Structure 1
Amino acid sequence: MIAHIQEVVAMHTAFVAGATGYTGREVVRALLAAGVRTVAHVRPDSASAGAWRARFAALGAEVDSTPWAGPAMAATLARVRPTLVFALLGTTRRRARAAARHGVTESYASVDYGLTRLLLDAAVASGARPRFVYLSSAGVHEGTRNAYLSARARLERDLRASGLPFVVARPAFVTGPDRDEPRPLERAAARVSDAALSVASRLGARRLAARWRSTSGAALASALVRLALDPGAEGRVVEGDGLR
């Protein structure tokens, strides 16, 4: 049984987009720990590209710095032939404001949707037919007016229509003291929310509490890798209570 699992894992190659993010770096670590050949994508224009390249190489990952352009990304995926593509891309209002000060437009529409859609199209064009593991968000639904949730709802719709095998994960708060960005308001909101959910759980709303409870990057990464490697997870949309 163990030998069979090892054979299955050895068949996989993972391409991780968003590898330098809070969850992405943990996904790279979890994939390598599972014995999966892992290619970590680092934006070529990142000021920390050299440091990330060294960090991932030290872990045993391959590093790719393909520009965010459709034909280039499709060519890379055709060459790498991944069986798994992790789409862990996203921006924040804080980063968008910082980018605007340098004359760069960065938004939920351009990053959370735009770059992920580019990656999805590249995966389709590559001919590799990888399983597309998409990190979405709790609360996603059609017709939402929230810009963040709307971008992710749109991508989920495109993913279903793409013809690729997929898994969609919808966690609630993803937070922890080890984030690069301190995000004190987010951490405070997560603590308040978790406290309220703990009370709700004791009153019988256990499933609701499990779905909306916060999680760390490492815990989420472990769940994403587990789902990516599970043949039975294909086509699933997994809410927070299934990501533990």
Structure 2
Amino acid sequence: MAERTILVLGASGLIGRFVTDDLRARGFRVVGVARSLSPAQRTNALDIELPILSLDGAALTRLLQERAVDVVVNCLGVLQDGPGSDTNAVHRDFVARLLKAIGDTGRASRLVHISIPGAAEADRTAFATTKREAERLITASGIPYAILRPGFVVAPSAYGGSAMLRALAAFPVDLPDKEMATPFQPVAVEDIAATIAWLAARDIEDDSVGAVSWDLMQAEPVTMSGLIEHFRAALGTAGWRRIAMPSFMLDLGAKTGDLANMLGWMPPMRSTAIAELRRGVTGDPSAWAAATGITPKTLTDAIGRHPATIQDKWFARLFLIKALIFASLVAFWLVSGFIALFVSYRAAAGILTAHNFPPALVDPVTIGTSLMDMSIGVLIAFRRTAAIGLVAGMVASLGYMFGAAILTPDLWIEPLGALVKTGPAIVLMLVALLMLDNR
């Protein structure tokens, strides 16, 4: 088993990271590939950062040959189109190049592909249709393959939909009744990793697993409500009275998430996520269980039989608040700069004039600081530049405070306490900076 080399694509993601670490613990030689790895994930010399989606067929072939890969595990996927995310490019075009590369190596290799459950006739989103197109390419390729269709994945870490359910469990709010009744068959990420390990240990010429498509999930039907209740039990919020949000609020949240998606953020509540949620997560795991002998973990075992730790509680409580923090900071900087420049320009300039500021500098400073404020708001709004914007906001705020202490010290005792309130704003920006990571 130790000589088998497995290439995991998407080794920084929820499934990919767990699978990479789990397979190594089982004795496999695992090469993890991701576009970017967090500092905490750069602990193994075999893990490499690579713009995998931009590699052509020849480059993919070289990668497979140089690493002498026996099994390729494709965990790559994006939920929705947006800046840097293209469902066609990731789910269909890349898979087509990968299949050709595997065939061109001249080496017998198996592809394990992570897809989605459900009937193809129910596919409505670009996410689902492109995932299904990839399946068709794989089944027609002639190479040994296993298409795994996990249910709702429950893992020790949280990302995307699993993070959102934890957050819902921490608050006295429910999704609309219709969505709460949606069937949602879960699967423990440990069962996904165990399945991949079982496949990797099989001989490449074993016809019984040469072309398989399995649903990986618990056989017992579970609803969204039942799934969240298990998280509530762990968080200690099971006895709370809750208010079901109206459907229009869920749709409004999805549209707001779509806007954030265009700015480079990847919130779990987007149009595609809500459409897939309403579709439900169902399948038949009997073929998988019969072939592998794996007994799916119960939901209680997957989530854990012990009460949630303090870090679990903090994450669940702060996950949805994170969006509110960033939105409020963007509004704060944009609106404050806009008001000073367009609504109350004379009043803003008058503060400097009243404190004997050099007349020639009043207008340039007023205009410059207003434009700077709005620029900070724009920087924070975009995911790629948010860290820069937050640091700039803290520096600018400290500059305002020290500048006022020197030039206009009486503003510190102004009745509304404008400068005094700058301190908490700096703290909030520091909190936002510390919460910026997604993984």
TM-score by length of 2: 0.42
- CA drift of 1:27 comes to 1.1
Matched, 1:29 2:21: yes
Determine the C-alpha separation between the residues in 2 that align with 1:83 and 1:133: 11
Task: Give the corresponding residue for 2:214.
Answer: 238
Whether the 8 Å CA contact 1:24–1:221 is kept in 2: the answer is no
CA offset digits 1:176-198 (Å, max 9, x no partner): 46124475445669x999x979x
Matched, 1:56 2:44: yes
Whether the 8 Å CA contact 1:15–1:39 is kept in 2: the answer is yes
Q: 3-state DSSP class of the match of 1:238? A: strand
Matched, 1:173 2:182: no
- CA drift of 1:118 comes to 2.8
Q: 3-state DSSP class of the match of 2:31? A: strand
Determine the C-alpha separation between the residues in 2 that align with 1:119 and 1:228: 18
* Pairing partner for 1:114 from 93, 98, 107: 93
Q: 3-state DSSP class of the match of 1:163? A: coil
Alpha-carbon spacing, 1:67–1:146, altered in 2? closer, same or farther (3 Å): closer
Task: Give the corresponding residue for 2:114.
Answer: 135
Alpha-carbon spacing, 1:142–1:117, altered in 2? closer, same or farther (3 Å): farther
Task: Give the corresponding residue for 1:92.
Answer: 79
Determine the C-alpha separation between the residues in 2 that align with 1:228 and 1:107: 30
Matched, 1:150 2:137: no
Matched, 1:15 2:2: no
Task: Give the corresponding residue for 1:202.
Answer: none
Determine the C-alpha separation between the residues in 2 that align with 1:220 and 1:153: 19
CA offset digits 1:37-93 (Å, max 9, x no partner): 1111122xx2x45543x2334xxxx12334331222211111112110001111123
Which stretch shows the higher mean deviation, 28-37 or 63-72? 63-72
Alpha-carbon spacing, 1:142–1:122, altered in 2? closer, same or farther (3 Å): farther
Determine the C-alpha separation between the residues in 1 that align with 2:161 and 2:147: 27
Whether the 8 Å CA contact 1:67–1:73 is kept in 2: the answer is no
Q: 3-state DSSP class of the match of 1:215? A: strand
Matched, 1:83 2:70: yes
Task: Give the corresponding residue for 2:199.
Answer: 227
Greater relative contact order (CA < 8 Å, ≥ 6 in sequence): 1
Q: Which runs of 5+ in 2 are unaligned?
A: 170-174, 217-284, 290-295, 297-439
- CA drift of 1:108 comes to 1.9
Whether the 8 Å CA contact 2:61–2:102 is kept in 1: the answer is yes
Determine the C-alpha separation between the residues in 2 that align with 1:117 and 1:155: 8
Letter of the aligned partner of 2:144 in structure 1? Answer: P
RMSD value, Cα: 3.1
CA offset digits 1:199-229 (Å, max 9, x no partner): xxxxxxxxxx9xx621232332222222332
Alpha-carbon spacing, 1:36–1:176, altered in 2? closer, same or farther (3 Å): closer
Determine the C-alpha separation between the residues in 1 that align with 2:75 and 2:196: 10
Whether the 8 Å CA contact 2:78–2:127 is kept in 1: the answer is no
- CA drift of 1:20 comes to 0.9
Task: Give the corresponding residue for 2:349.
Answer: none
Task: Give the corresponding residue for 2:33.
Answer: 41
Alpha-carbon spacing, 1:176–1:35, altered in 2? closer, same or farther (3 Å): closer
Alpha-carbon spacing, 1:140–1:50, altered in 2? closer, same or farther (3 Å): farther
Whether the 8 Å CA contact 2:19–2:193 is kept in 1: the answer is yes
Matched, 1:72 2:59: yes
Between structure 1 and structure 2, the one with the greater Rg is: 2
Q: 3-state DSSP class of the match of 2:14? A: coil
- CA drift of 1:155 comes to 0.8
TM-score by length of 1: 0.71
Between the two proteins, the alignment pairs up a number of residues equal to 205
